[in-house]
Amino acid sequence: MRHAGSSRLPEEAPDISRLSDSLEEAIHWLSRYGADSEGGVTRLLYTDSWQQAQAALAERMQQAGLEVYYDEVGNLYGRIEGAQPHLGTILTGSHIDTVRHGGKYDGAYGIAAGLTALLYLAQRYGKPRYNLEIVSFCEEEGSRFPLTYWGSGNVSGRYSPDRVPDIYDDAGLSLKEAMLAAGFCSQASRAWTVRREDLRAFIELHIEQGAVLEREGSSIGVVQGIVGQKRLTFEVIGEANHAGTTPMAWRRDALAGAAEMVGYMEKLAQSYGPPMVATVGSLTLTPNLANVIPGKVSFTLDARHSDGGELSSFCSEAAAGLGDLAARRGLILTSHEWMNAEPVMMDAELTGWVEDICTQRDWSRVRMFSGAGHDAQVMQSICPAALVFVPSRGGVSHSPDEYTSAEELAAGVSVLTDLLYGLAYDKEGAL
Ligand SMILES: NC(=O)NC(NC(N)=O)C(=O)[O-]
Ligand SMILES: [Zn+2]
Ligand SMILES: [Zn+2]
């Protein structure tokens, strides 16, 4: 890829008011699928609300004239074929799944914005040189199954539908069963076509989900890299017993032990200093009754750092410290690491290009690291990938209170439109 430059920008800036109107409408339209009465959105992988959202999106893309198809795991694509289709594809998009009771913008923004940009470009400039596609990745969050990036992981070849991990949701349903029930992965013997070999670039537009842009008063976050992330589940086994007849000195209380462990990890993370973060976000106790000493507790740890070495040493120290705490209380501790994502640097050339666009179009911008994980980090393993942020009000995300103003959303889609033009239309955009 040669370095960008003004020549790759269309002379006229994208028509922001046109982009903005259809973008806002698309975001609110998508948020109806999986909406709850308190303003939250829940679309867990392969559930009804997820299926309805993908189906509605497929129909909308089809009506808009895109060529629409699903792959075997449920990633949904909309395609505009290029003048030279064999030369490859420029892909943009994000994920359709949400956390439980999440917001309207996480993932959905990148899809709504990608669709808006594609349709605008096609209307304004006609057929691109390279194929231009949008993807709605089937899963990114890992909210239903203990597995993240199942959608982009299949596209990049990290996972494959003929080797579905043997994992289960809270109701005991396996990932494979859930996939089959949603109508995917049903022809076990066919050659899978999930993995993409034709991608020239992947661009993801996303809300920041933090407060850097708001604090800096900037419109665009140019993401240089994404933190490494480990997720583990710990199980603490003590002894369930009568809450009235068991003296304090004779107890093996799994929850009292787990509580100490949570506090220990918070202090340990603080002692590492920023950007180390560690969170116990899910905890289940058994039998969970007022008059029974908890016999078993399982809890998760989500730990992140931009330096992979620091992250590993935090996790080793935490495991050793937790082991000591368990031993002191006569508890049995086991752990299972189910996510280990290395820190990833985004493509430097594309990142520089985003900065050039901001300079030329007068968007204020900040270079930054992402503390949240994204499909873009997985896609970067198979093609040059860029991640672009717009502000999140109050830095709030994974909550119904997620909010980004119409103007801020429009700035992002304008940058995306310019970037996609340069990549897919301008012959100088050849990578
Ligand atoms: N953008 C996200 O919210 N990503 C989340 N999900 C993954 N898979 O990282 C996260 O927890 O950071
Ligand atoms: Zn998220
Ligand atoms: Zn997201």
pLDDT digits (tens, 9 = 90+) for 200-243: 999 999 999 999 999 999 999 999 999 999 999 999 999 999 99
Q: Give the pocket of ligand 1 (CB within 6 Å).
A: 106, 140-142, 148, 209, 229, 372-374
Concatenated DSSP letters for 84-108?
A: SGGG-EEEEEEE----TTB-SSTTH
- Find out whether 10 and 100 touch, Cβ atoms under 8 Å: no
Give the whole-angstrom CA distance, residue 372 versus residue 274.
15
Cα(265) to centroid of ligand 3, in Å? Answer: 26
Cα(141) to centroid of ligand 3, in Å? Answer: 7
* Residue 373 Cα: closest atom of ligand 1: 9
331-333-334 Cα angle (round to 5): 155
From the CA of 41, the nearest ligand is 2
Question: Which residue owns the Cα nearest ligand 1 atom 6?
Answer: 141
Cα(200) to centroid of ligand 2, in Å? Answer: 25
Alpha-carbon distances of 256 from 260, 278, 281, 296, 301, rounded to whole Å: 6, 20, 17, 11, 17
Cα(65) to centroid of ligand 2, in Å? Answer: 29
Q: Of 99, 137, 148, 389, which is best to mutate to test ligand 1, by the most ligand atoms within 8 angstroms of its C-beta?
A: 148
Per-residue pLDDT of the chain (431 residues; tens, 9 = 90+): 444 444 578 888 888 888 898 899 999 999 999 999 999 999 999 999 999 999 999 999 999 999 999 999 999 999 999 999 999 999 999 999 999 999 999 999 999 999 999 999 999 999 999 999 999 999 999 999 999 999 999 999 999 988 899 999 999 999 999 999 999 987 654 555 789 999 999 999 999 999 999 999 999 999 999 999 999 999 999 999 999 999 999 999 999 999 999 999 999 999 999 999 999 999 999 999 999 999 999 999 999 999 999 999 999 999 999 999 999 999 999 999 999 999 999 999 999 999 999 999 999 999 999 999 999 999 999 999 999 999 999 999 999 999 999 999 999 999 999 999 999 998 665 55
Question: Which residue owns the Cα nearest ligand 1 atom 9?
Answer: 373
Give 156-210 pLDDT, tens digit per residue: 999 998 889 999 999 999 999 999 999 998 765 455 578 999 999 999 999 999 9
Count the Cβ atoms, other than its own, within 10 Å of residue 248: 7
Enter the tokens of residue 426: 């301008």
Burial of 37 (0-12, 13-18, 19+ CB in 10 A): exposed
- Find out whether 330 and 250 touch, Cβ atoms under 8 Å: no
Q: Of 41, 141, 282, which is best to mutate to test ligand 1, by the most ligand atoms within 8 angstroms of its C-beta?
A: 141
* Residue 206 Cα: closest atom of ligand 1: 1
- Find out whether 368 and 222 touch, Cβ atoms under 8 Å: yes
- Dihedral through CA 107, CA 110, CA 111, CA 116, nearest 10? 150
Cα(251) to centroid of ligand 2, in Å? Answer: 40
ipTM of the complex, rounded to two decimals: 0.95
**Residue whose tokens read 């997985």:** 378
Give the whole-angstrom CA distance, residue 60 versus residue 362.
33
Number of alpha carbons in the 13 Å side-chain half-sphere of residue 203: 33
Give the whole-angstrom CA distance, residue 413 versus residue 204.
11
* DSSP β-ladder status, 89-95 and 131-137: parallel
* Residue 149 Cα: closest atom of ligand 1: 8
From the CA of 137, the nearest ligand is 3
Question: Which residue owns the Cα nearest ligand 1 atom 8?
Answer: 141
* Residue 304 Cα: closest atom of ligand 1: 12
From the CA of 103, the nearest ligand is 2
Phi, psi at residue 210, to the nearest 5°?
A: -145, -175
